A and B are shown apart, each in its own frame.
Chain A
Amino acid sequence: MSEIRNYTLNFGPQHPAAHGVLRLVLELDGEVVERADPHIGLLHRGTEKLTETRTWLQSVPFMDRLDYMGMMCTEHAYCLAVEKLLGVEVPERARYIRVMFDEITRVMSHLMLIGSHAFDIGAMTMILYTFREREELFDVYEAVSGARMHPAYYRPGGVYRDLPDTMPKYKPSRFKSESRLKELNAAREGSLLDFIEAFFDRFPKCCDDYETLLTENRIWKQRTVGIGVMSPERALAMGFTGPMLRGSGIAWDLRKKQPYEVYDRFDFDIPVGKNGDCYDRYLCRMEEMRQSTRIIRQCIEWLRNNPGPVITDDHKVAPPKREKIKGDMEELIHHFKLFSEGFHVPEGEVYAAIEHPKGEFAVYAISDGANKPYRIRLRSAGFIHLAAMDELARGHMIADVVALMGTLDVVFGDVDR
């Protein structure tokens, strides 16, 4: 009889299916995983420490770099925390803009996830389609903030500026013919809102296409149905939130249950799964994109009809308008003070949680009255979800680990902070 040996296998830190830098130490019995021990921290940049040395405003761009797949949502939690401490009133229009961009971010994050998850377990085509749509949403980010990935668009007190009236257009080059250019720029003739509306008119059809490729796909179902099953009780105890919890059948969504901003004014549903496996979580995410489309449509409608300020006029928190700085001494002082010393935040502590595409993302901020945070704690969903890797992977085959990595929706900027 041949000798049977157990193997310990290093998955990563550089593995295409690890979604970043994860070293996963797998103890195997043949092809069956006996224990999975994720070693994280390879992308640890000490964000929590760094925020303690920056003014409250200077930390906003750090938030983009946490979950670099759901940039504006992480900014949102941070701004909510600061606003809660300051007691600043955010203009209504800014709230709607935030909700709209949160949902756009959710769609972007889910597109990335579904594309790469399918890619990891063998469906190459998916990522090409989802990235096609994601690219246009990046253009939306760029139009509104000037940056594709790290916008720093949300600021304590509102958003940096109002939605632009024009969309940037493709310029003629020797690679693009006149007719092709016309075709590309067709949706970009109007304002940003027109562009977003045109996109989300088209988007449900795109979702149908993804579903045609995956939902009833035999291989996809073989790889995901019954993999990584989590019971609702266990999911709660393990700290699961977002689609990971909803996939197990618990209808818990902060947008509905503890509404922040103006989410209580929107009409949308929370999709829940039944079996708590990878397939149900995929279905939840798919449906969430459709629900986001509904919310975005309602936002566009409201934003069209309600012009107004987008950032608070309390100049102790947000800078005054450029024209005013040039002509008014008081405003000049405000501007100077804001960008040198920064604003002071009253003493206290708050916990601001939002429904991030991946789950509950929260910022726990402690202020001692200084111009810099005393302590910022970033509660990320990915960190908690990855902790369950061991429990999910036990007893599964080694190939299923890749399916689990996908369904957990981990992004290492967010896990390692």
Chain B
Amino acid sequence: MSAKLERLSQILRIVLDGRLRSLAQDRGEITIEVGAEDYLAVARTLRDHAELRFEQLADLCGVDYSAYGNGKAACEPGRRFATVLHMLSIEHNWRLRLKVFSIDDNFPVLDSVCDLWPSANWDEREAFDLFGIMYSGHTDLRRILTDYGFVGHPLRKDFPVSGYTEMRYDAETERVIYQPVTIEPRENAPRVVREAGYGDTGHV
């Protein structure tokens, strides 16, 4: 397996050469990062190059890095919204993770890969809905999972788990109404990142 990964990373290094920002091999998976400006061209190469042939886009999703590591390392500008693609080559039987960061954190935009893989259509709609990442070139960038008329992007780290509005049936007016939430998020176990070697007593 690792020989195969070696081969894949070698091919990637040769084919993508200057456009490759980083290439990491961890836990039997390869992650590459490219710049937003090269994204579409790189995606096309990955799909069409005879030695790569990633003919299927298994997954495309957004990630918000603003609270990573408990927010201690507040992310640098242009490192907040990432789009992560998982590709699969059936011909060569290998997978690849491609990560791209949008340049502007206040208005994240990225090229759409719908023309390369039609399956990206709904995935990009979902990333737009949940993270507010715009995909230029997408023909139908509507919200997909949230309610009609929903405001905000719920998977962003600054969006509370309980949301902002709630919906209930109002007996007086005899219709369904929206109102500000009446519940508060509750945290039973706080989120902690321990320092290295925490709890290591020395004996097994």
The answer to whether A and B come from one shared complex is yes
Q: Which residues of A contact B (CB under 8 A)?
A: 40-41, 44, 46, 48-50, 52-53, 55, 84-85, 87, 236-239, 241, 250, 252, 257-258, 337, 340-342, 344, 348-351, 353, 360, 362, 364, 366, 368-372, 374-375, 377, 379, 383-384, 386-387, 391, 416-417
Q: A250-B90, A349-B31, A379-B58 are in contact. List 13 more A-B contacts (CB 8 A).
A: A40-B145, A49-B161, A53-B161, A53-B185, A84-B28, A238-B118, A344-B198, A348-B27, A351-B59, A371-B189, A375-B64, A384-B122, A387-B119
| Contact A53 B56, beta carbon cutoff 8 Å | no
| Contact B145 A364, beta carbon cutoff 8 Å | no
- Nearest CB on B from A208, distance (A): 33
Please give, as numbers and ranges, the residues of chain B lying within 8 Å of A383 by CB-CB distance. 122, 126
Is B55 located at the chain interface by the 8 A CB criterion?
yes
Cα distance A136–B195 when bound, in Å?
49
Cα distance A53–B68 when bound, in Å?
14
Please give, as numbers and ranges, the residues of chain A lying within 8 Å of B108 by CB-CB distance. none
Please give, as numbers and ranges, the residues of chain B lying within 8 Å of A344 by CB-CB distance. 193-194, 198
Is B191 located at the chain interface by the 8 A CB criterion?
yes
| Contact A236 B56, beta carbon cutoff 8 Å | yes
| Contact A351 B192, beta carbon cutoff 8 Å | no
In the complex, the chain B residue whose C-beta lies closest to that of A43 is B145
| Contact A351 B29, beta carbon cutoff 8 Å | yes
Cα distance A50–B28 when bound, in Å?
28
In the complex, the chain B residue whose C-beta lies closest to that of A233 is B55
Cα distance A140–B29 when bound, in Å?
36
In the complex, the chain B residue whose C-beta lies closest to that of A50 is B161
- Nearest CB on A from B175, distance (A): 18
- 20 chain-A/chain-B pairs, Cβ below 8 angstroms: A41-B147, A46-B161, A48-B155, A49-B154, A84-B28, A239-B58, A239-B118, A341-B192, A349-B97, A368-B69, A369-B194, A371-B189, A371-B192, A374-B68, A377-B61, A377-B84, A384-B123, A387-B121, A416-B145, A417-B145
- Nearest CB on B from A335, distance (A): 14
Please give, as numbers and ranges, the residues of chain B lying within 8 Å of A416 by CB-CB distance. 145
Cα distance A173–B151 when bound, in Å?
55
| Contact A368 B193, beta carbon cutoff 8 Å | yes
* A348-B145 contact in complex given A362-B58, A370-B191, A370-B193, C-beta closer than 8 Å: no
- Nearest CB on B from A123, distance (A): 31
Cα distance A337–B193 when bound, in Å?
14
- Nearest CB on A from B112, distance (A): 14
Please give, as numbers and ranges, the residues of chain A lying within 8 Å of B199 by CB-CB distance. 337
Please give, as numbers and ranges, the residues of chain A lying within 8 Å of B159 by CB-CB distance. 49
| Contact A41 B86, beta carbon cutoff 8 Å | no
Cα distance A375–B191 when bound, in Å?
13
| Contact A41 B161, beta carbon cutoff 8 Å | no
Q: Mark B52-93, 1 if CB is under 8 A from A, else 0.
A: 000111110101100111100000000000001010001001
In the complex, the chain A residue whose C-beta lies closest to that of B64 is A375
Please give, as numbers and ranges, the residues of chain A lying within 8 Å of B86 by CB-CB distance. 351, 362, 364, 379
In the complex, the chain A residue whose C-beta lies closest to that of B198 is A344
Please give, as numbers and ranges, the residues of chain B lying within 8 Å of A387 by CB-CB distance. 119, 121-122
Please give, as numbers and ranges, the residues of chain B lying within 8 Å of A371 by CB-CB distance. 189, 191-192
Cα distance A348–B95 when bound, in Å?
17
Please give, as numbers and ranges, the residues of chain A lying within 8 Å of B29 by CB-CB distance. 349-351
- Nearest CB on B from A359, distance (A): 10
Is B170 located at the chain interface by the 8 A CB criterion?
no
User: Which B residues between 99 and 154 are near A, CB-CB below 8 angstroms?
Assistant: 117-119, 121-123, 126, 130, 143-147, 154
Query: Which of B69, B95, B119, B130 meets A237, CB within 8 Å?
Result: B119
Is B158 located at the chain interface by the 8 A CB criterion?
no
Query: Which of A46, A258, A372 meets B93, CB within 8 Å?
Result: A258
| Contact B119 A350, beta carbon cutoff 8 Å | no
Please give, as numbers and ranges, the residues of chain B lying within 8 Å of A386 by CB-CB distance. 122
- Nearest CB on B from A311, distance (A): 18
Query: Which of A238, A257, A350, A362 meets B59, CB within 8 Å?
Result: A362
Please give, as numbers and ranges, the residues of chain B lying within 8 Å of A417 by CB-CB distance. 145
In the complex, the chain B residue whose C-beta lies closest to that of A367 is B193
| Contact B192 A370, beta carbon cutoff 8 Å | yes
| Contact A236 B193, beta carbon cutoff 8 Å | no
User: Which B residues between 149 and 192 are near A, CB-CB below 8 angstroms?
Assistant: 154-155, 159, 161, 185, 187, 189, 191-192
Is B26 located at the chain interface by the 8 A CB criterion?
yes
In the complex, the chain B residue whose C-beta lies closest to that of A339 is B189
| Contact A41 B117, beta carbon cutoff 8 Å | no
- Nearest CB on A from B202, distance (A): 13
Query: Which of A257, A369, A377 meets B193, CB within 8 Å?
Result: A369
* A366-B63 contact in complex given A50-B161, A257-B93, A384-B119, C-beta closer than 8 Å: yes
* A84-B56 contact in complex given A41-B144, A366-B63, A370-B192, C-beta closer than 8 Å: no
